[in-house]
Amino acid sequence: MIPFIDLQAQKRRVETEARRRMDAVLEHGRFVMGPEVDELEKRLAEYVGVEHAVSCASGTDALLMPLMALDIGPGDAVLTTPFTFIATAEVISLLGATPVFVDIDPVTFNIDPDKLEAAIRAVEQNDSSIHTLPPNAGKLTAKAVIPVDLFGQAADYDRILPLCEKHGVAVIEDAAQSFGGRLGDRRCGSFGLCGATSFFPAKPLGCWGDGGAVFTDDAELAEKLTSVRVHGQGRDKYENVRVGINGRLDTLQAAVLLAKLDIFDDEIEARQKVAAAYAKGMAGLEGVVTPTVPENMLSAWAQYSLLTPGPQAREGLMAHLKEAGVPSVIYYPKPLHMQTAYAGLGYGEGDFPISEGVSRRIMSLPMHPYLEDGQIETICQAVRQGAENFA
């Protein structure tokens, strides 16, 4: 079986440097907030092109902390897409705020800016005829938007940022899948008030455990984030100026990330080559829609996702691939408004038809920087054969 994500190949490459870095941590013994954390934050900020990087324990905390810093809570609406990993919406609910879902663009799978503007207006006017609002939520105030850079490709910030500014709504970029990607001359993670990323092992830049970071140019926000990260501490360790969390990144994970950052640009480059080889190997294939990346964008290629004609075709293709030793995964089989966890909001089937349709047709192929030409050839051939059976 070809691995879906080959972390072993990368391990062999970074092992010496990562062990050297981890050994240094064992020696100095500062396992929490050690010097590697500082060093990493400086390098991350420089990489993303922002003033401040605040590391934390996970991508989920990286989304939660800015919402806490903004005092978001009950009665507040935070708008996001239903076609994402649960963490994006979960952090909103954890604070007692309400996720207001906005459907996606059928090509990029990212939040649709026209629908976003309609949704903000619907919240402002408390009018569900403009955009589907959660029926059980009552009157809300639009406070923030969390656009997701799905599969590694930036959301449409050229349109999202001005419209959110116009409505006085903060933008928190969910860059968990797009670290290393670009839109124009700016890196993902640098858009809006702040960007949040994840260093979960399977993400473009992964550590050997959980980790995350928030990026911002806003000094006041950065200071609040560092306070929220450690139980809302003030100047003094035992002074608590707000309610916070224990959201620190382990020093050992910072050490691993420092070693992996050294080869990261090279890996992003390798992902471009894999994506290009896939596109070539599946060009013109009837019934298979391969991803397209706009001219001014660089995807971090967290996933390489295909659209099939429908659920039966997808099931057949995935079974065929499995027989050929090629794993595939569905990201995501069920949009968030259809999840049991969100039944309480009162959304129903048909509320976000693009997300629902895409969730029935989409599937992802193996994607990592160490896929070899022969493996890519095997995968493309298996997709071509499997697609012959599309009804």
Ligand X SMILES: *Cc1c(COP(=O)(O)O)cnc(C)c1O
**Euclidean distance between CA atoms 215 and 212, whole angstroms:** 10
Closest residue to ligand X, Cβ-based?
Answer: 59
Counting contacts by CB under 6 A, is residue 58 touching ligand X? yes
**Pick 60 or 375: Cβ nearer ligand X:** 60
Counting contacts by CB under 6 A, is residue 305 touching ligand X? no
Instruction: Please report, as residue ranges, which positions from 228 to 287 form the binding site for ligand X (by CB under 6 A).
Output: none
Stretch that binds ligand X, among 65-73, 80-88, 306-314, 353-361 (CB under 6 A): 80-88
**Total chain residues near ligand X (CB under 6 A):** 15
Gyration radius from the chain CA atoms: 21
Task: Give min distance, CB of 268 to ligand X, in A.
Answer: 17
| H or E, element range at 143 | strand 141-146
Cβ burial of 261 (10 Å; 0-12, 13-18, 19+) is middle
Q: Which residues contact 78 (CB under 8 A, 6 or more apart)?
A: 67, 72, 92, 97, 98, 99, 100, 143, 144, 145, 146
Stretch that binds ligand X, among 82-90, 220-228, 292-300, 321-329 (CB under 6 A): 82-90
Where would I find the H helices in 230-310?
251-261, 264-281
**Pick 267 or 317: Cβ nearer ligand X:** 267
Tokens at 29, concatenated: 């013994």
**Euclidean distance between CA atoms 205 and 185, whole angstroms:** 20
Task: Give min distance, CB of 93 to ligand X, in A.
Answer: 14
**Pick 112 or 313: Cβ nearer ligand X:** 112
Question: Is the Cβ–Cβ distance between 149 and 177 less than 8 Å?
Answer: yes
Where would I find the H helices in 1-97?
7-28, 35-48, 59-69, 87-94
Task: Give min distance, CB of 364 to ligand X, in A.
Answer: 12
**Pick 198 or 226: Cβ nearer ligand X:** 198
**Euclidean distance between CA atoms 241 and 389, whole angstroms:** 62
Task: Give min distance, CB of 376 to ligand X, in A.
Answer: 24
Task: Give min distance, CB of 179 to ligand X, in A.
Answer: 11
**Pick 210 or 356: Cβ nearer ligand X:** 210
Q: According to CB under 6 A, which one of 99, 212, 247, 366 is a site residue for ligand X? A: 212
Q: According to CB under 6 A, which one of 53, 92, 148, 362 is a site residue for ligand X? A: 148
Q: Which residues contact 107 (CB under 8 A, 6 or more apart)?
A: 292
**Pick 113 or 204: Cβ nearer ligand X:** 204
33-to-24, 25, 94, 224, 272 alpha-carbon distances in Å:
14, 11, 26, 17, 35
Of residues 16, 75, 21, 7, the one with CA closest to residue 255: 21
Q: According to CB under 6 A, which one of 10, 81, 84, 190 is a site residue for ligand X? A: 84
Q: According to CB under 6 A, which one of 210, 250, 267, 351 is a site residue for ligand X? A: 210
**Euclidean distance between CA atoms 29 and 23, whole angstroms:** 10
Q: According to CB under 6 A, which one of 55, 80, 88, 253 is a site residue for ligand X? A: 88
**Pick 91 or 376: Cβ nearer ligand X:** 91
Counting contacts by CB under 6 A, is residue 364 touching ligand X? no
Q: According to CB under 6 A, which one of 59, 147, 366, 386 is a site residue for ligand X? A: 59
SS3 175: coil
**Pick 67 or 376: Cβ nearer ligand X:** 67
Phi-psi region for residue 265, left (φ > 0), alpha (ψ -120 to 50) or beta? Answer: alpha
Q: According to CB under 6 A, which one of 78, 87, 188, 297 is a site residue for ligand X? A: 87
**Euclidean distance between CA atoms 53 and 197, whole angstroms:** 10
**Pick 198 or 359: Cβ nearer ligand X:** 198
Instruction: Please report, as residue ranges, which positions from 164 to 203 form the binding site for ligand X (by CB under 6 A).
Output: 174, 176-177, 198, 200
SS3 160: helix
Task: Give min distance, CB of 96 to ligand X, in A.
Answer: 20
Counting contacts by CB under 6 A, is residue 60 touching ligand X? yes
Counting contacts by CB under 6 A, is residue 89 touching ligand X? no
What angle, rounded to 10 degrees, do the helices at 59-69 and 219-229 form?
Answer: 120
**Pick 144 or 313: Cβ nearer ligand X:** 144
Judged by the rule CB under 6 A, the positions of this chain that interact with ligand X are: 58-60, 84-85, 87-88, 148, 174, 176-177, 198, 200, 210, 212
